[in-house]
Structure 1
């Protein structure tokens, strides 16, 4: 059992009670700090490195049950420098986590990080050629245990979902009104029908649509040196077909309405679409997906969840 640090044997003459024996000795799974504010560097869409504000949780295990505590300040100080000069990559995360373990001088064998930040991507309008920025919440879970790095990348995509049932009911009402208005019309010209469709009478009902959200978490295979955030976001948005837009002129809004009509989906459909996009990705070992349609018809949300593992 180590002796308590005293002014006589502590660095700078300052006592360190963390070296005292624990009153209820036992190892601890994790010890550390949550919600540390720190800037991190990430790769932008064009490959350049940009700095963004992040919130980080950091922890190590305390395998020595007799030790009262870890060297917590060492974790904090190392974290402040961890991503100061290079972007976050799997090899970089491994080095940082190993440094956390080494800093504890035998007290710990494992380390983990949970990083949260918002990634800005510039997205083009559908038809007008304008550009706008869209925000994607991102999380990175990294754990080093027994020499193995475990990485889980999380992100969220917002999209529009138009209800297939509501669309079918709306089409029926539109057909009913057409039959009412043209029951005695013989013959009918294309121009007359076109003018009717463009009038207020030509729209008897509209399907309900709502902003929706897909939360995705993927366990990454260790063979890759970059975090595949951008290609995974692109794959999910392409699978859904109706990601929310940034810059919108009238021609963009019309194009978006067409996309919604071509991509009618329940929450079950959306979950299956995202799963299909991730199921064949060689970078993904496991995926967990949760979609939520923030209903405009109901005061509650429609949700679906699906998970899977790639061979």
Structure 2
């Protein structure tokens, strides 16, 4: 009777068999969409568990080898991500384990992790709060040049067009001139009542939901402080979308929009300035997308730290 160990030894492994007519080194080989739980501290000291999609890859340097050992990558992903909190040190150790499991086959390793992080956000005026789900992507690489880790996320906000606001003010002025004769002294009560009527807001500027897609590289040793990054960007913009909203919160949001008129170029520069001043960030790339309510197309701007060979060269 065969033991389990003997049975395993007898199983064929065609991945080790050479294919002379198909020889060649490969940039990356692995798996994408691996379903696994992750534990992540977004910066508030609370480790949150989420369902993630993971991509695990190594290169294949041996042209005489048909394939890699994908099961080894899978088991290492499961071992590390199911039991440890995700941070830079853990991801570097995982990638080194990828390479150790593929000695003489690979000299580069890569992992991508995608999940949503729930963050509780306070209302603008009321005592209420609610949850926002921020998408998180982590991309880590290990090669001869060393270890590199990037964090990506998105901030959704409202943007009110400055040009549309100016045009709306002009129409309100013209309506005021029609309703109040220049030869008659203004009556305070009448003007106040007019401002509260439909005529007092005969035109409104167009606003749209907008998205800032962020990709940052923290300096070595800095924690992956997602909440700190979100706070800095949302404060720079002034109009992040809200969760729990009572009338006082909606009015405060309208006031914030009126005080933060911005083209996509303005929003990009606000974020650029905010991230440039953060010593924990080594490099960043930002894509701003204003999903126009006036046009069927979007207004888009890019910004980066602009270091040599950095994100500024990406499209």
| TM > 0.5 | yes
Q: Aligned-pair distance for 1:242?
A: 0.4
Tell me how far 1:269 sits from its aligned partner: 0.7
RMSD: 1.8
TM-score by length of structure 1 reads 0.93
Counterpart-to-counterpart distance in 2, 1:76 and 1:208 = 49
Shift in Å, 1:184: 5.0
Q: Kindly provide the CA deviation profile for residues 252-271 of structure 1, in whole angstroms up to 9, marking residues without a partner as x.
A: 01000000000000111111
Could you tell me which residue of structure 2 aligns to residue 301 of structure 1?
298
> Partner of 1:218: helix, strand, or coil?
strand
Residues 30 and 153 (structure 1 numbering): CA distance in 2 closer, same or farther, change over 3 Å? Answer: same
Matched-pair contact (CA < 8 Å) for 1:285–1:309:
no
User: Does residue 1:250 correspond to 2:247, yes or no?
Assistant: yes
Does the CA-based 8 Å contact 1:18-1:68 persist in structure 2?
yes
The one of 59, 70, 73 equivalent to 1:75 is 73
Equivalent residue number for residue 284 of structure 1: 281
Matched with 1:92 is 90
- After TM superposition, the structure 1 = structure 2 runs for residues 1-311 of structure 1, keeping only pairs within 5 Å, are 11-23=8-20, 24-44=22-42, 46-146=44-144, 148-183=146-181, 186-224=184-222, 226-309=223-306
TM-score (norm 2): 0.92
SS at the partner of 2:305?
strand
Alpha-carbon distance between aligned partners in 2 of 1:187 and 1:304, rounded to the nearest angstrom = 48
**Per-residue CA shift, 1:42-73, capped at 9, x if unaligned?**
11453121210111111001122221111110
- The 3-state SS of whatever aligns with 1:159 is strand
Structure 2: how far apart are the matches of 1:14 and 1:91? Answer: 37
> Once the two structures are superposed, what CA deviation does each residue of 1:3-57 show, in whole Å capped at 9, x if it has no partner?
xxxxx99843101111111323222111101111111111145312121011111
* Number of residue equivalences: 303
8 Å contact 1:59–1:112 — kept in the other structure?
A: yes
Shift of 1:283: 2.1
Q: Give me the whole-angstrom Cα distance separating, in 2, the residues matched to 1:244 and 1:274.
A: 16
